[in-house]
Chain A
Amino acid sequence: MSNDLKSILCVLVLCGSFLFSPLHAVLAEDAERIMRESDRRQRAQSETYDGRLEVVDPGGKVFKKSWQLWREGNGSQSKALVRFNSPPEVDGVGLLVLARPNAPDEQWMYTPAIRRDRRIAPQDRSTRFMGTDFTYEDMEARDIDEYTYDLMGEETQAGQPCWKIRAKPKAPEQSQYSLSYLWVRKDNYLVICVELYVKGNKRKTLELAEVTQIQGVWTAQLLRMKDLERGGSTTLRRQNIKFNVPIAKDFFSLRTLRTL
Chain B
Amino acid sequence: MACYAGDEPWKFQGALEFRSILYPKLPSSLDTHFQGTAWLNFSVQRRWEGFGKIFVSSLAEIDTHHDVARTRLIDWNERDLRHPVFRPREAYWENRFGRLDLRVGRQEIRWGRADGINPTDNLEPYDFLNPFLEERLPVTAVKGDLYLGQSHLELAWMPFYVPSRMSLLGQRWFPRLPSQAQVSGLVVPLRFREGARRYPAYTVGNSQFGVRWNHALPGIEFSFSYYDGINDLPFYTAQLISAAPSLQLQQGPAAVGWRAFDARSQIVPTVDVRLDREYHRLRVVGSDFSGTLGSWGMRGEAAYNIRSDDRDDSYLSYVFGFDRQKGRWFTIVEFAGQWTAKRGSVPQPSSFDRGLGRALLLRTQYEMRTDETLELVGLLRLPAGDSGWRLTYSRKLADGWQLELRGSAFAGNNNAFLGQFRDSGNLAAKLVYRW
Q: Which residues of A contact B (CB under 8 A)?
A: 48, 55, 57, 61, 63-64, 68, 70, 83, 85, 87-89, 91, 100, 103-104, 106, 114-116, 118-124, 126-128, 131-132, 232, 242, 245-248, 250-251, 253-255, 259-260
> Which residues of B in the span 143-163 have a Cβ within 8 Å of any Cβ on A?
145, 147, 152
Residue contact A118 to B1, C-beta cutoff 8 Å: no
Residue contact B370 to A131, C-beta cutoff 8 Å: yes
Select B147's contact among A63, A123, A245, A255, beta carbons within 8 Å.
A255
Residue contact B96 to A259, C-beta cutoff 8 Å: yes
Residue B265 at the chain A interface, CB threshold 8 Å: no
CB closest chain-B residue, reference A104:
B292
Select A127's contact among B109, B325, B370, B371, beta carbons within 8 Å.
B325
Residue contact A64 to B323, C-beta cutoff 8 Å: no
**Please, which residues of chain B bring their CB within 8 A of the CB of A131?**
367, 370-371
Residue contact B402 to A89, C-beta cutoff 8 Å: yes
Residue B219 at the chain A interface, CB threshold 8 Å: yes
The main secondary structure of chain A at its interface with chain B is mixed
A-B contacts besides A87-B396, A87-B399, 12 pairs, CB < 8 Å: A63-B371, A64-B399, A85-B5, A114-B110, A115-B110, A118-B290, A119-B297, A121-B297, A121-B323, A127-B328, A250-B147, A254-B216
Contact with A along B323-361 (1 / 0, CB 8 A): 111111000000000000000000000000000000000
Select A248's contact among B2, B6, B295, beta carbons within 8 Å.
B2
Residue pairs across A and B with Cβ atoms less than 8 A apart, 26 shown, are A63-B370, A85-B5, A87-B400, A88-B400, A89-B396, A100-B218, A106-B292, A115-B108, A118-B113, A119-B221, A119-B290, A121-B295, A121-B296, A121-B297, A121-B323, A122-B292, A122-B295, A124-B327, A127-B328, A132-B370, A245-B2, A250-B147, A251-B2, A254-B216, A259-B101, A260-B5
What is the CA–CA distance of A123 and B331 in the complex, to the nearest angstrom?
12
Residue contact B110 to A116, C-beta cutoff 8 Å: yes
What is the CA–CA distance of A250 and B147 in the complex, to the nearest angstrom?
10
CB closest chain-A residue, reference B112:
A116
Select B434's contact among A88, A100, A104, A124, beta carbons within 8 Å.
A88
**Please, which residues of chain A bring their CB within 8 A of the CB of B147?**
250, 253, 255
Q: Which residues of B contact A (CB under 8 A)?
A: 1-6, 13, 15, 94, 96, 101, 108-110, 113, 145, 147, 152, 216, 218-219, 221, 290-297, 323-328, 367, 369-371, 396, 399-400, 402, 434-435
A232-B370 contact in complex given A119-B297, A122-B295, C-beta closer than 8 Å: yes
Residue contact B4 to A63, C-beta cutoff 8 Å: no
What is the CA–CA distance of A232 and B96 in the complex, to the nearest angstrom?
43
**Please, which residues of chain B bring their CB within 8 A of the CB of A260?**
4-6
Select A247's contact among B2, B325, B435, beta carbons within 8 Å.
B2
Most buried by A among B4, B15, B94: B4
What is the CA–CA distance of A103 and B295 in the complex, to the nearest angstrom?
12
Residue contact A106 to B218, C-beta cutoff 8 Å: yes
What is the CA–CA distance of A57 and B152 in the complex, to the nearest angstrom?
42
